[in-house]
Structures are given as C-alpha cells and as structure tokens.
Structure 1
C-alpha cells in the first residue's frame, strides 16, 4: 500500500520526516495519520477510502501513511494497540482518532466534526494581511457595535473575544468563546485564545518568579516550579525562556502529569508569533519524543 506519487495529498510518514511532514505541516493543514500494515485485511479496506477522501478534499487535509512494521518507533510513540488506527493531528497536537475501518460516510462525518470540508466546497477565510497595529481598546468598541448590529454573526463575536483578550478582559472573552458554535470553536484563533486563557488561569495565586527560581535552584527536579516559571515567562513576553523550562521538564520526565510538558509546549506554540522560534523548538521537542 505504498503511496502513489500521483496523489499529492498522501505520503508515507517515517521517523526521519515525521517532525517536518506531520507535526510542522499540521500547523498549516490538518494531517490524518493512518497506521497500517501489508498483512492487515481491514487496513486494505480503509486505506483506499482514506486516499480517495484525501483526493476528494483537495488539500483540506493531508494523509500520512505509517507502516507499523517499518516505523515501530512512531507506532510506539502513539501507543498504537491495533491496526488500522487513525489519528488526527492539528496544530502539532493529536486531537482525535479512532481504531478500526470506518465506512466513507462516517469518515466524512469525522472530518466535518473537526471543521474539515472539501476545499472545492468551502471558501476558507483569507489570511489576515499585514497591517499597522490597532489599538485593542478601540477595536473592542468597534466590534461591540458590530456585534450589536449583527447578533447572529458568530465570526464577529470571535473577533470581539480576541480583542477583549488583548485588553486583559479574560472573563468576558472566555464567555464569548464558550458560546461559539463548534465550527468556530476549532478555529486556529479560538484555539490560540484558549491557550492564552489557560496560561493566565495557571498564574492565579502562583508564587512570584523569584520564589520559583529559588525553588528550582534548590531542587532542579521541582517540575511544578519549572512549569509555573515557564508559564510566567511566556505570559511576560519571554517566549524562549518559557520554552526552555517546558523543554527541560520534557527532558527530565516526558510523562510528568500525564504528558504536561508536551501539552505546554504545544499550547505555547499556538501563542508565540515568532515562527522561526516555534520551528526550532518543535524540532527540539520532536528529537526528545521520537
């Protein structure tokens, strides 16, 4: 079931290319990861359907094929227990998956649930053009007026939530995000906003930076202090210092708090706007995980 070069949206994922072709590319487009083997009967039923959908959806998602016999490290990292197993990766993070072979209708429903529609049938929002920085308070005033005039327009409510978050009005922003329909709740901007809110919430009643630094100096294995210090640094606009703390936690105990270091890195990647810095630390994270 080696992928055909005529299928531009399907590729074989290997340990060598997984970080670049799956994790990094998933920050731009969702990636379905199909774990399969030549001897697996259900895999031979599911594989052609997934490849057909990848073609039908015309780049709305990519399909990464992982031969578990050849790529045992990847299968172990994803804790694959049976095949076929399919995972969805978005924003560098595993967000959902299922075991077994599903019919095409259920696969389409799975994709739709995650906001993935055929590219020819959906006009994605244009990328925001570079523009002069806007006053977030003025934006809040403007967007409040637009929401009042168009109360049915959920996209404007998302814009308002993002503007509110920039002014520090986290509670109202969270209420607006909670009320968004599913298609907008999975919007990259909404996911990034959720990550910001999550980091801010972690700092409620957190010790000051000096106390956390002293705790780590006294005990380098104080991973809770490292995590809080990393969050402090990210929120304070020192992304590299924050990422260094999260990476060190991953290095010392990748399974700490049920995978907290990896989740923290992924959340930070969603927030940090420096693409070069994010790319460098994604590679460092992958070198520790795979």
Structure 2
C-alpha cells in the first residue's frame, strides 16, 4: 500500500493468506492478475486503482504480477491476463477475464454490495497549551532588547507582565506607548486590567469576600471586589456574574458602579461570545 492510494497493494504467494484471504473477512478484496507486457492490463489497472481510491476502503485491490508469481497464478489457474477475482469472507465469489470498461466495473461492485465509505472528518487539531506567562515575559524582554524601537513588542510585554501581576512595570510600558498604539484594543484591555489590579491592591482575599457575600448578598462593595478578583484570575464568567448581580440589586450603587464594572470587564474578557451574552443581559436590565 502507498500513501497516495492506501487501498492498493502488491500480493504474492508468501503473504497471500494473510494479506488477501484473512483481510477479505473484513473488507472485500479484488485480486488483479496482470503482466507488464499486457496491453489491456495497462488500461484496466489504472481504472481499478482509481475506483479503489474513490471507494475509500470499500474494497482493497491486490495486484499480482503473474510473471513474478507464477506459482500463485497456477494455483488460481489463470489462463489469460488481465483476470480479476473477488474474494469475500476468505472465498472467491466471482471474477471476470479481460478489461471491462469503468461503467461495468461499477456495476460489478454494486452487484456484490460494495459501496464507497464516507471519508472520515479530519481530526481537530489539538489546542496549544496556554503559554506560561513568566516564560512569555522572559521571551518578550529578549525580543524588546533585540528590537528596542519596536513598540508593538513593548505592548506585548506589558500585557504579559499584567498576566504575572507586575502592574507597575506594565503601567510604565503602557504610558510610554505612542498615541497610535495607546488606543489599540489590546492597550485599552491592558488599562482596564490595570484598573482591576489597582482596585485589589489593599482588598481582602477572595475567600474572605466570598464569605462576606454569602453572609450578606446585598453587600455590593464585597461583590465588586470579589468580581474583580475573578476577572484578574481569568475566571471571567464568575466576575461578570458578580457585576451583573450588582446591577440587578442596585443599578445606581456608587453612581452607576455596577454598569461601569461590567463595561471595564468587557474590555478585559477575551471571549467574544461571553462578552456578547453578558452585554445582552446588561441591556435587558437597563432598558
């Protein structure tokens, strides 16, 4: 068998039982007895190979060169070439001499219930594992050092630093960006993430805030900080849900903080479908 046509192979006496008879118990095998000097063989062979490829494993095609495999040809009493035999369930069930046209070959296959197999869907490529943010920082530092005038690399470095919690250095890099990059969506996302990090600078840990919200669901200040913890940790839906609950309970809290928190979170969250879903939820509460 070849990568170009995995359903065609050369057969000989040594492996005939394994390669043809046993395989035919699972998949029908056409055995094409041919010779290099045979003109009709040169017509029939390519058509059989084309059908084998088209049927995608609906049958296998075993090629037997009668000059090389005289003993095998004698065993099957081959009198002329080409001769084709169909083997199913370990037995010869039909065959024909000569080079049939393609239409008759298709009829022969159909008569024996041989149909094309559907092509398997290509496997989904495995998602690449998320990059280690600390390794990304090291890589991008080297890239910036190699190309210090490339501001896009500095923006990439700022975002990588934010993922490691290095807010001060990230903010300095963002502040130094030229005007065109400062308004880039990624830069705005970085600014929004910085705001959440600044909010958490002196905030209680997430576990304490969760206990406070459980004790008093109307504690919107605790909810706000708990949502910020979730956004910074990448648990975007948890954070959005906290801010949405704030909006449900009191849209005017601290001069519209629930709405502002949601909008800031939308800038940070990288899942567009999730952002779209929560934008619609926010709109249903506001209008």
> How many corresponding residue pairs?
161
Following TM superposition, by how much is the alpha carbon of 1:131 offset from its aligned partner in structure 2, in angstroms?
Answer: 8.1
Q: 1:286 and 2:286 equivalent?
A: no
Q: Given the alignment of the two structures, is residue 170 of structure 1 paired with residue 167 of structure 2, yes or no? A: yes
**Is 1:236 matched with 2:217?**
no
Sort the Cα spacing of 1:173 and 1:253 in 2 relative to 1 into closer, same or farther, 3 A: same
- Are 2:152 and 1:141 equivalent residues in the alignment? no
| 2:261 paired residue number | 264
In the alignment, the residues of structure 1 paired with residue 282 and residue 242 of structure 2 have an alpha-carbon distance, to the nearest angstrom, of 12
Structure with max Cα Rg: 2
* Corresponding residue for residue 226 of structure 1: 223
Shift of 1:193: 1.1
Q: Secondary structure of 2:254's partner?
A: coil
1:209 to 206, 211, 218: 206
With normalisation by structure 2, the TM-score equals 0.51
The answer on 1:189 being equivalent to 2:186 is yes
Q: CA deviation at 1:189?
A: 0.6
| Distance in 1 of aligned mates of 2:218 and 2:164 | 36
Change (3 A) 1:176 1:262: same
Structure 2 residues not aligned, in runs of 5+: 1-125
Describe the superposition over 1:185-209 as per-residue Cα deviations: whole angstroms up to 9, x where unpaired. Answer: 1111111111212112211221233
Residues 259 and 138 of structure 1, relative CA distance in 2, 3 Å threshold: same
Q: Mapping of 1:84-99 within 5 angstroms?
A: none
Q: Per the alignment, in what secondary structure is the counterpart of residue 217 of structure 1?
A: helix
- The alpha-carbon distance between structure 1 residues 223 and 145, as it changes in their structure 2 partners (threshold 3 A), is same
| Residues 195 and 147 (structure 1), Cα distance of their counterparts in 2 relative to 1, 3 Å cut | same
Aligned match of 1:151 = 148
In 1, distance between residues paired with 2:212 and 2:138? 43
Distance 2:157 2:269 in 1: 20
Q: Output the TM-score relative to the length of structure 1.
A: 0.50
After superposing on structure 2, the runs of 4+ consecutive aligned residues of structure 1 that deviate more than 6 Å are none
SS of corresponding position for 1:221: coil
**Partners in 1 of 2:182 and 2:246 — Cα distance?**
30
User: Cα offset for 1:178?
Assistant: 1.1
Cα offsets for 1:54-85 (capped at 9, x unmatched): xxxxxxxxxxxxxxxxxxxxxxxxxxxxxxxx
* 1:211 Cα deviation after fit: 2.8
Q: Do the aligned partners of residues 164 and 238 (structure 1) sit closer, same or farther apart at CA in structure 2, a change above 3 Å counting?
A: closer
Q: CA RMSD in A?
A: 2.2
Higher RCO, Cα 8 Å, sep 6+: 1
2: CA distance between counterparts of 1:230 and 1:159? 25
2:271 corresponds to 1:274: yes
Partner of 1:198: 195
Q: Deviations over 1:215-253 (max 9, x none)?
A: 333433221111111112222332222211101111222
Residues 138 and 260 of structure 1: CA distance in aligned 2, closer, same or farther (over 3 Å): same
